[in-house]
Structures are given as C-alpha cells and as structure tokens.
Structure 1
Amino acid sequence: MKKLSTFLILLLISPLLFSCQQEDHEASIKLKEAIIVYMCADNNLKEVADLNIEDMVEGIDPDADVFVYLDQGEKNSYIYKLVPDNLDATRGNPVATFENLDSGCESTVAKIIDHVLTHYPSETIGLVLWSHGSGWMAPAPSYTNKSFGDDNGNDMSIKDLTVALKSVLSRHNKTLYEYILFDACLMGDIEVISELKDICNYIAASTDLILEDGYPYNQFMKAITNKNDDLETRLVKACETYIHYYINQEKTSKQFGTLSLYKTSEVDRLIQTMNHIISTSYMNYNNLFYNGEIEFFNHTPFKDFMKTVEAHFTEAECTKLKQSISQMVIYTKNVDILLGRSKAEDHCGISMFIPYHYFYYDLEYYTTGVWAEQSRYGVILRNSINHNIN
C-alpha cells in the first residue's frame, strides 16, 4: 500500500516537476527581443481583445517572441506566447495562469513583465499597453476619467505606472525599454511623455481617441516584428499601418484618428526650451489658457501643443519650441479631420493640459509632474488660475 501511495504521489507531482524543468530550460535561452502586450480588458473592450489577439497571431513574424497578458474579468487571467498563424495553439496553451489579479494596478503590470523576463530572458523589451486611457489625469476617485487601464473601474496613474516599469528594469539589470506603444486614448500629451522619457527610447501614442478597433494588429505586428528593418523604421511603419487602416474607413463612421511617434532622448530639449522661455520672458501670463473658446480633444482639457503656445508666446519663442518638437516628434499623421475639430496641417503631434472650470482641483497633482516642474509650466499655470479665481 505504501509503494502504491508513493507511486501515486510521484505520478501526481511529475507534471509539476516537468513544468519546473521546462521553465528552467526556457530561462536558459536568451531571446533577442521580447514584445509584451498588456491587455487590461476587464471592461467594455473584452470582446475586442479577442479579435485583436486573432489579428496579432495572423501578423507576427515566425521568429518573433510576442507575449500577451489578457485579463477579461474572469477568475483567471493568462499570459500567451503567440504562435504564428495558429490561434488555437496560442489560446489553448497559456504559458502562465494567474488568479484574481487587478490588471488596473501598476503592481500587476510589473508582475507580468517580471514573469515574462524571468522565464524568457531577453536582450531587449518592447511594450504595448492596451486599455482605456485619459492622459496624465489622476486616477479615480480623485478624477472620474481613467489615467491608464480599467479593471472593473480600477485604474493607475502614469506616475505610478512609470515607477512600476522602472522597478522591473532595475530587477533585470536593464536601463530602458525599446519602446512603449499605447493602444489607449489620449496618451500623446507632453505630461505622459515627460514621465516616461527616462525609461524607454520611443513612445507611440494618440493625442485623441483611439477607437475600439485599436491598432490593425495583423499589419501592425507584421511591421513591428520585421527584423529586416532597424527599430525606428519598424516603429514608423507600424504607425503608418494605423493611419492607413482608418483612412480606408471612408464608408464608415470610423474615418478619423491620429498617431505620433516620439523619440524620448529629445524630450529634455523641449522641456529646457520651455523652461528658458518662461524664465526669461517678460510677458504677462495672467490670462494664460483660460477662456471659453478653447477647442478640446474629445471634451478633455487637452489642446494641441503649438496651438496653445502660439496664442500667448512670441513668434521667436514659438520658433524655438517648433524646432525642439521637430526633433522629438519623428512621425505624426492624422486621418483628414481630427474628430471634426482640427485639420491635419494644424496638428503638431503633441497635446498639453489646459485648465478650465472644474479641472482646477487637479492642479496640486498636476504641478508635481515632470513636465510641470522641469519646464516651469506649472508655475505659470498656477498663476493664471489664481488670477482668474481671485
């Protein structure tokens, strides 16, 4: 009976032993590049997530190593390693399963990336962050919109997300992600870009809405995993697939959108230029940005960066800012008319926060951000608001 029990025990634990051995084997193979797609879909996008994964599988290069974390609000969430042109093999064999994770929390983002890099060490890392978004805005309950992510109403601030992403790099002896691409609305503001500038080489984001279709992942993944091109070329081509997809929606209500690609090593140049202008200018900024005629992106307190400054800065100052932006924004395009509010030639590729009415109470949070502090924009913002409410 004891022998039988021992045999049964060995039989039961053998899969666990094999699993551990398999993970050790995986960890011994260093990948050239790991692409991690983080899908926070415990919200009204859960059905779209399935379609996006199907397109990813169709588009990836056979030699690419793409990992997708998917949380759709069920008890379990999963990490899948995409198998090219084989959706059943991808979805039927998750490489990791988790119980009761809150994907709207920055610690979960860190946990998922940690897991992938522990079991699949990689020379370089690219991130796609997929969910709802609302730019720099503080997370609920201090503000009703999402900053990034939405797990049944839970979300995270960009500041907290940045700290979490940086901690992963430190644990794995790395300094930078190759890129962070946002498949989420309104993440192309200077405030978000400034927070993330020191942990990645490139950022792709939209200053406006991204429709629920998101990126056209069959073409997008084909571009991003094409190892015949250098990284920047791959990213530009990936952005082009987004624009082309929505250009071709002329017979639907989906023919709009914008996407930009930012080179983060040039962000400090723009910050320093703005700082210098604010520090040396004698202009009166008391009425800066506060009026009832501001055109907002999607009724949010964001406006095109250059449209904002051109209304209040001198021509010489604007020229300096444009020069800095031209070095930082290496790709930006719109689909004809941006939600009927801004034509393509009017858009510089970055948005910026503007105070207006009920957005006052976010000022304390806002002025602690990298952009607000380092550019001194937070100083003139505070002065403008104080002038208008006193």
Structure 2
Amino acid sequence: MASRTKQKRAKRRYSLLLFMAGDNDLSDAGIRDIAELCKVGASADVYVGVEIDTRGEHTGSIRYEITEPEEEGIAYRNVIERLPEADTGKPESLLKFLTWGTDRYPADQRVVVIGGHGDGFRSRRRAIAIDEFGGALDMPEVEYVFERVGFHKKKIAILGFDACLMGMLEIANHFSKFADYLVASQQIEPGEGWPYDKVLEHLKHEPKVCDVASDIVDSYVNHYVLHGMTNVTQSAIRLTRTGEAMKSLSLLGKAVASHLDSQDASTKRESIRTIDMARASSQSFANAEYVDAVHFAENLSKAIECKVVGKYSRRLIESLNKAVIKNRVLRRSRKLANANGLSIWFPSTLFSFTVNRARYLELNGVEDQPGWLNFMDDVFAEMRYS
C-alpha cells in the first residue's frame, strides 16, 4: 500500500492565527468574533485559523478554519479539530495551537492575536488568556511558547493582544525579539474586542505590515465611535524601537535617583512627595499603577528643577514617540486626554511594589536597563524607613 503524505499547502502573504481564551464571560463575544471573520472570509492571500474555548457553548476547545467566500459572498467556519477540555491559561494550550497554525498555514507574514481578559504583567492569575476554571498566562510563559514555536527565528509580523491593559512599554519590549509590531490597548477594552471583519479586510488588501498595524488601530477606535463608547484606546508599536525607549527610561530613573541622592534627608523626602504628586497627576488607567509614560515624563520635568532630569525626560518622550507609530484615543471623555500609546509601571504603595517587584524583574530589559527599577527601589525604601 502506498504511503499517504500530507499535501503541503501553498504559502500565502499572511496568516491570521487567533487564540481566543473565552472560557469566561467573554464566550459570546468570542463567538461573535468568529462570525465577524466569516463576514469577510479568507482569500488567496490570507489564511485564517482560530482556536476558541468557551463557557457553555461546548465542552473543550474548537479549531476553526475560516474559508474563502463562496460565490454568494458567504464564508464559513470549518471545524478542523475538536479538542478535550483544557486550561487556556496553560502554556501548553497556546503552544499546541501556534505549532498547529504555523504548520498548517504557511505564510510570508504571520499575525498572531491572543484574545481574552488581560491585566498587564503583574499577576499569574490575571495576566492574559484567563480561564475562569484554570489559570492565566504570564509574560514569561508567553515568551516560552514563542521560543518553542520558533518566533525568535522567524518573527511574527504583528502581535496583537485583544485584551485589557497590555499597552505597556515593558510588555512591548519583552516581545521585541519575537515580533515586528504590537497592537495593544493601554486601557480596559470593551467586551466586544477587536472588529475582526475590519482586521481581515486590512490583511486582504494592505501589503505593508506597518500599514496593517496602523489600520487595525483606526478600525478599532472607529468601531467604538459608531457604538457610542467612551474611554477607548489602541496603539501600534514598532518593536525595534522599544529597546531605546527602555534605555531612556533607565537613564531617566538614574538621573532622578542621582538628584535625590544629592539632597539631605529632609529635602529628599520632600522631593519624593513631589515626584509622587507628578505620578498621581499623570494619566493612569483602570489599573492605576500603569501610568502613561509620555505624560509622566512631561509632569516630572516640570516638577523637578534639575537640568539632567529634564534632559532625560525629553529623551524618553522622543524615544516613545518613535516607537508608537499610531495612537488613537476616543476622546469623548477627559479621562483619557493624555493617553499617548504606552504605559509604564509606577505603583503608589510600598505594598504593591514589594508584591510585584519580582514579576517586574522577569520582563526582558528590566535587569539589563535597571535605572528605573533602582529608582523605584530608592523611593520605596524611603517609604519603608521614613
């Protein structure tokens, strides 16, 4: 009997791989996301593969392939595989999906989107891909998956976090060796998430990756303008620029720490209170420990009368502006008037800093560029002993 070999598929320009962690209150939204993809369908240039785990829809996860539209203009979600119940918050779940997707859908450029609840970097239980009946992925676990799949060798074109509070400089830099662009929100995302019909339209008709990333940002915010939403942000980040921004943040931290060290104890305590006021008056988000990096640098340079601090504040702003290629804010509310595309971590309490410091140190670039963390160590040590 002749052996059967798997037929190799032709390479397309793009593949979109969507991992939807919907075993929570986002189940219905995840199903609607797939329906949005079917409004547009795949094409001769674009593959679309999806894995979704839902609450109550069915037991386990399903892998779908979105077809090209038929003559009547309708595309379908073909069930490729039904999987047993598993925890979407375990690295193995994401690893198996991405291994399957990259093998099944060869492409010049890959767009990888992780959808579901998110909370930045801080907690293993509340980072991203949260499963109500299991765990959640932290940033080192996502990194581990990307290493195993080989994205350090062939980068993702666009990494998307369709989740809340993921638009942070430290997170963007953490994945800079795995992707060219990141699309993420500084703020809480509405439950409906990305408008995937628009995302797929951009992939089908826009050959330039940077333009696709920017278009996703525009479509996301425009979608919520039409739906009357407020407090919406989205930005596209050029990840080759985040290393310089992290270095600038470190230099700013070193400059502020040096300024504090030059003062006597009483003056230093007063300066720390001034810095804390600059932090408190800076743009923050649903997690108040995440502050807009540009706005904070602007406020800090006004609050501290030091030429070196002013110099490195300006340098940080310049490097952030080079990294953020598109930033959109739905400005119907003044709450987000100073959202510029990337947040940084600057907690207000000694307790929060102490609890989350080790996890912050796990992010790539924090240990290599330690000036910002050292500055926070200095500030919170002062709080501890004052």
Secondary structure of 1:225's aligned partner: helix
Q: 1: distance between equivalents of 2:295 and 2:13?
A: 42
Written as runs of structure 1 = structure 2, the 5 A alignment for 1:111-260 is 111-140=96-125, 146-152=126-132, 153-169=134-150, 174-227=153-206, 229-250=207-228, 254-260=229-235
Cα distance in 1 for partners of 2:329, 2:9 equals: 44
1:160 is displaced (CA, Å) by 1.2
Q: Are residues 1:366 and 2:366 paired?
A: no
* Alpha-carbon displacement from aligned partner over 1:215-246 (angstroms, at most 9, x marks no partner): 1222222113324x311112211211111111
In structure 2, what is the Cα distance between the partners aligned to 1:88 and 1:102? 32
> Residues 21-40 of structure 1 correspond to what in structure 2 (within 5 A)?
21=4, 24-25=6-7, 27-40=8-21
Aligned positions of 1:369-388 closer than 5 A:
369-376=363-370, 377-388=372-383
**Contact in 2 for aligned 1:162/1:196 (Cα 8 Å):** yes
Asked if 1 retains the 8 angstrom alpha-carbon contact of 2:95 and 2:149, the reply is yes
Q: Are residue 72 (structure 1) and residue 54 (structure 2) matched?
A: yes
Query: Alpha-carbon deviation of 1:255?
Result: 2.9
Label 1:79 to 1:222 Cα distance change in 2 as closer, same or farther (>3 A).
same
State the alpha-carbon separation in 2 of the partners of residues 120 and 217 from structure 1: 18
**Structure 1: stretches of 5+ with no match in the other structure:** 1-9, 11-16, 141-145
User: CA 1:222 to 1:367, structure 2 compared with 1: closer, same or farther past 3 Å?
Assistant: same
Cα deviations by residue, 1:34-60 (Å, 9 ceiling, x for unpaired): 210110100000011111111111134
- Worse overlay, 350-359 or 191-200: 350-359
Partner of 1:320: 315
Aligned partner of 1:262 in structure 2 is 237
Structure 2 runs not aligned, ≥5 long: 262-267, 302-308
1:13 maps to none
CA distance in 1, matches of 2:86, 2:76: 21
**How far apart are residue 356 of structure 1 and its match?**
2.3
Give the Å deviation of 1:67.
0.6
State the distance in 1 between where 2:11 and 2:69 align: 24
Q: Is the 8 A contact 2:13 2:107 kept in 1?
A: yes
Q: CA RMSD in A?
A: 2.6
1:61–1:226 Cα contact (<8 Å) kept: no
Check 1:224–1:123 CA distance in 2 against 1; reply closer, same or farther (3 A cut): closer
SS across alignment from 2:130: strand
Distance 2:231 2:41 in 1: 26
Change (3 A) 1:300 1:154: farther
Q: Is the 8 A contact 2:40 2:75 kept in 1?
A: no
Q: Percent identity?
A: 16
Going from structure 1 to structure 2, the CA distance change for 1:191 and 1:49 (only over 3 Å counts) comes to: same
Task: Give me the TM-score of the superposition, normalised by structure 1.
Answer: 0.83
Distance in 1 between the 2:255 and 2:213 partners? 37
Q: 1:277 to 1:300 in 2, by over 3 A?
A: closer
Q: CA deviation at 1:168?
A: 0.3
Corresponding residue number in structure 1 for 2:67: 83
